[in-house]
Amino acid sequence: MLQAVLGLDAATIAAAFLVTPANMGQRLVRAKRRIRDTGIPFRVPDAGDLPGRIDAVLDAIYATFGTGWRDPGGDVRHQGLMEEAIWLGRVLAARLPDEPEVPGLLALMLHAAARLPARRSMDGEYAPLSEQDPADWDGAMVDEAEDLLRQAGRQRRMGRFQLEAAVHSVHAARRRTGGTDWPALVQLYDALLALTDSPVVAVNRAAALAGAQGAVAGLAALESLAGDPRLVDYQPYWATRADLCARLGDAGAAAAAYARAIALESDPAVRAFLEERRGAL
């Protein structure tokens, strides 16, 4: 879907799924060969086909959103992908009102998109979530996301996208409370980890654990992931590790982790932010 419909190349798709471009290229070739050899038609599916396909469609839409969200002003091929993904989410929500993961995904995308104006200062400097002013978030978008999350929750069939949207909801509550409920985030990430076994979730859980119990606990959780090959080139793992090492006063380990994160980062604003943090050690 990402290549044939949206025209994304193998490297971009690989980044969304934490695999190498070569690995993704092989997967795409195998998929095309299977479509050709088995004669799978390209047509609008019948209503009965939708339940078995919805998970793959939601994954593709979220990968589309993530590609645009990570690169809002960079590669011209990625411009408009966030808006396209949100539009597709709205189409699905209208067509499949009894699938709770659909409003869950739409809520997740709206929560993330609501914070987009706060990710850059007027001078183009990157601001991480913890340093953003909630007054700069799109309040109407946040409110819509919260309504969608409640709508999904009423069906009492919890899934990955609802849990991820709930994580964003906890962060969005800072608009009202002025603080972050770190234990709630740890609990949500525990549920997500049990559901997905995702290394990305595990990294985020380590960061939340640091907020709830301190940098020692967070770094210990991160250390347990060090052998996962999927994280070798995952920038947030190294940036989180650098931040926690810096908090614990280990400047050498922090500098090494920052260097790795900087080398992996393609966004000039984020790279400048990481370089500034490394320079402040």
At residue 4, φ and ψ (nearest 5 deg) are: -75, -35
Between CA 162 and CA 59 the distance in angstroms is 13
- Identify the pLDDT of residue 77: 58
Indicate the CATH number for domain 186-281. Answer: 1.25.40.10
- Identify the pLDDT of residue 68: 83
Between CA 64 and CA 20 the distance in angstroms is 18
Mean pLDDT by 10 residues, the chain (281 residues): 83 83 92 92 84 90 86 60 93 90 97 92 88 93 96 93 97 93 97 94 97 97 92 94 97 97 92 96 93
At residue 213, φ and ψ (nearest 5 deg) are: -125, -5
Tokens 């500098």 label which residue? 255
Pair 111, 172: CB distance under 8 Å:
yes
Tell me if the pTM is above 0.85. yes
* AA letter at 246: A
Between CA 66 and CA 58 the distance in angstroms is 12
Query: What letter does residue 117 receive in the DSSP assignment?
Result: G
Between CA 67 and CA 78 the distance in angstroms is 7
CATH 1.25.40.10 segments of the chain: 186-281
* AA letter at 243: D
- Identify the pLDDT of residue 168: 97
- Identify the pLDDT of residue 18: 79
- Identify the pLDDT of residue 214: 97
